[in-house]
Amino acid sequence: MTAYMWSYNATSRPSFVMPALLPPTILCNVIGEYRLKKLNKRGEARQMIIADGYFVSTQSHGPQSQRIHHKRVMPRPNSMKKFVKKFVLSRIFPIMVEPTEGSRQIKPKTALYLSILVSLLQPFQSGWSTSQLNLAQFNDTVECDSRPVAENTCLMFPGHSKLEWTFAVNAWIFGAMLGSLSCGRFSDMWGRKKLLLVNCGIITVGAIVQMSVSNIWPFAVGRFIAGIASGVATGTIGAYVNELSPPNLRNVLGLGLQISVTFGIMMPAVAFFFANTSSGWRFLAGFPLVLAALFLTFAPSLCVESPAWLLMNNRREEAEHVISRLYGVENVNTVLAWLETTGDNMEGLIDGNQTDESLFDPKYYRQLAGAIMLSCSQQLSGINAVFYYSNSIFADAGISDPRVGTLIIDFINIWPAFFTGFLAVRFGNRNMILWGLLGMLVMAIGMTLAFLVDVPALSILFTALYVINFGVTLGPLVWVMTADIFPDSIRASASSLCIGINWFCNLVVGVSYPYLADALKDLSYVPFVVLLALFYCMALKLVPETSGKTSAEIQLEYEERRHKSTR
């Protein structure tokens, strides 16, 4: 692994001195006459300039503990431990683990792609559950309120009330919020792969309950259980894919989550042409059983455990074995350089013991604020309102069958994400997020004007552009960036919290927007115009560039921002 030597003085930032080779992990008490507790197992000699005139070399003759030899050319700082923590770990160590440009281009093995592909079966269930009930014949308020209920109308639980239906629909969102908020703890405890295997059991229970009941309230319970599974999947897959992927492919592979969800949203719209019967909804409710069966069949052999999680749990040999499957034996050390614990996690090791990272540590406030803003913006951007309005927009344009309008919008929603990877590499994640927010702001204004002047063609145009804008920016990139901006030690819990907030915002929109739309009529998009403008201003301040960067590089950028703000 190639790293850099640095020198430091009190009036300037570290400056480049010369390249040097460093071991993947350095575990030391202090610089000076103390021992270096752990070196590279190969026991190779290393040397570097640390700071303030200290020349330090590590001499080794094997894998045992070694002494540090140093040449003191300036007065020693009063507190060396504080010095190491403040300057070496926060400013130098993240740079030392930066991979070379060549190492970024390591070609993954087929095992990596298969692991990710199989894992994406679970977000498909989330998308399926999103649109599973979006057939007007399942729930038409007028027809369901009629007595007697006409044949071939109100197909699901004939005679149910609007309140009961609203509860059944949103029970899934509430379950997803609970699942995503709780999955981080279990992901850290059991591992990403084992949690996803357990989640198949939750998917199975939710599907069986929904397809077998004859009353709407037990059906709502099944929806709630299915929601827990959806929350666990969306809260876990982003971190899992991030930890398996090389830096140069994290954007592209991370988009799989959104693509899987959008395909899951579209497929029920296709099934509606065949499932519009009194029993058809039961087949829709039971379809996730197929996804769970496929995952349980292929995941044990094709999916690997996250090597980052294995390293955090001191299972290094297993991590090296997994990395060799994903990248080849010859690249194990290089990949370890991407995954090794960064300076923030080394502080506890300097004192001789490991410390637990807290998501709510002040040093992570910027990351947390940015991730929460991104999660909120995805749901409060108005995209759900577009889907809510789509049937009436297409009806005004002469397309009377709501299934056709739903299918058109769902189809448009899928394809933009396939271009996101190329565009994000070309322009960067940050620019894509900013352009997405700005573009959706313009489209929301255009849709409002189209409603006011009552021009259906313009409404359809702005609706399509709105969905495309979302699908190529906020839709896929929020999942990617939420996982990117946190270090390995807190990524699972951070993703869990942020995706939970994302689901909460989804719940707020799902419950409140129908009433808001009835009250505001043609001005129903004005609240989203205001929110999009607010999110754009916040993104300028809070969203960093993450495209193509390692976790260490991203954390270094946050560390530099934090130091600037405290000066």
Q: What is the dihedral of CA 34, 37, 40, 45, to 10 degrees?
A: 20
Q: What SS3 class is residue 472?
A: helix
Q: Does some domain include residue 542?
A: yes
Q: What is the DSSP string of 333-388?
A: HHHHHHHS--HHHHHHHHTTS-----TTSGGGHHHHHHHHHHHHHHHHTSHHHHHH
What range defines the domain where residue 145 resides? 110-308+359-566
Whole-number pLDDT of residue 104: 54
Same domain, 89 and 206: no
Q: Does some domain include residue 322?
A: no
Q: Does some domain include residue 342?
A: no
- Which residue reads 């919290």 in tokens? 497
Who has greater pLDDT, 513 or 110? 110
Average pLDDT for 464-475: 93
Whole-number pLDDT of residue 141: 72
C-alpha distances out from residue 222 to 60, 404, 443, 454, 511, Å: 61, 28, 37, 41, 19
195 Cβ neighbours under 8 A, 6+ residues apart: 183, 186, 187, 232, 236
Helix axes 216-244, 121-131, angle to 10 degrees: 140
Who has greater pLDDT, 17 or 193? 193
Same domain, 286 and 425: yes
Same domain, 86 and 144: no
Angle at 131 between CA 292 and CA 213, to 5 degrees: 65
Question: What is this structure's pTM?
Answer: 0.77
Confidence of residue 90 (pLDDT cuts 50, 70, 90): very low
Whole-number pLDDT of residue 347: 46
Condensed to tens digits (0 to 9), the pLDDT of residues 526-558 reads: 999 999 999 999 999 998 888 878 778 888 888
Q: Does some domain include residue 560?
A: yes
Whole-number pLDDT of residue 356: 57
C-alpha distances out from residue 409 to 104, 126, 166, 345, 386, Å: 38, 18, 23, 45, 9
Least confident of 55-69, 254-268, 344-358, 362-376: 55-69
- Which residue reads 């290393």 in tokens? 46
Confidence of residue 339 (pLDDT cuts 50, 70, 90): confident
Same domain, 132 and 16: no
C-alpha distances out from residue 528 to 76, 509, 511, Å: 58, 11, 16
Q: Does some domain include residue 556?
A: yes
Average pLDDT for 300-314: 93
Q: Which of 66, 96, 126 delimits the end of a domain?
A: 96
